[in-house]
Amino acid sequence: MVSELRNEINQLIRDRWSSRNYDPERSVPAEMIDRLLEAARWAPSGRNRQPWRYIVFDERNEGALAQARACLDPGNQEWANRAPVLLLAAAKTMLPNGKILSTATHDLGLANENLLLQAISMGLHCRPMGGFDRECARKSFDIPDEYHPMVMIAVGFQGRIDDLSEDVQSKESTPRTRREIEAFAFLGAWEAKYPTGRESA
């Protein structure tokens, strides 16, 4: 569920949401994962550096999947361990000359959104998570220092909501809310009121 839509937007964007509900018995075919990564591949990035990297965890390597699940915060493990696929998204934040790549996390965010929208278009559920132990991930999967593990993404098909705990069920059924445009958009200067179409009509 989502709060009132004030302006018409692409249906795919409207349909995107971060689900905690997965069917642990239904695997995601490798070709579908390939399509998610292809969508991420075509994201824009500063100077076309493409600083994103993904580690895929699924049934092809159950040991690595178990390790990835172990790096999640306990609150996320409760539901994310039901997802048959986890993706670890990392950004290359350091250039070869030692300088910080300031746009790396922005670029990874663009790649992640491409991936999430592609997942929704294919009937998959997905949810990015910041709640995981980054040092656990770095050590478990030999992630180089110049890369920063940013988020884990759970991917899978919709499960039975009745199989989730009451707390998670409640979170799943809570309507999504968003700030009004006037709360984050300004016209011409910081905190200068942005006149929405509704006001100027």
State whether CATH 3.40.190.10 applies to domain 18-175: no
Q: Where are the alpha helices (DSSP H) in the chain?
A: 11-15, 30-41, 62-71, 74-80, 104-121, 134-140, 166-173, 197-200
Position 197 scores a pLDDT of: 75
Q: Is the pLDDT of residue 201 over 50?
A: no
- Helix, strand or coil, per DSSP, at residue 147: strand
- Ordered by start, the domain boundaries in the chain are 18-175
Mean pLDDT in residue range 54-77: 98
Q: Is the pLDDT of residue 200 over 50?
A: no
Residue 28 — very low, low, confident or very high, per pLDDT cuts 50/70/90?
very high
Residue 198 — very low, low, confident or very high, per pLDDT cuts 50/70/90?
low
User: How high does pLDDT run on average in the chain?
Assistant: 94
Q: Is the pLDDT of residue 144 over 80?
A: yes
pTM for the full predicted model: 0.93
Distance set, CA 106 to CA 45, 113, 130, 148 (Å): 8, 11, 15, 13
Mean pLDDT in residue range 106-111: 98
Contacts for 165-173: CB closer than 8 Å, 24+ residues apart = 165/78, 168/20, 168/78, 168/79, 171/20, 172/19, 172/20, 172/21, 173/1
Are 41 and 51 in contact by the 8 Å Cβ rule? The answer is no
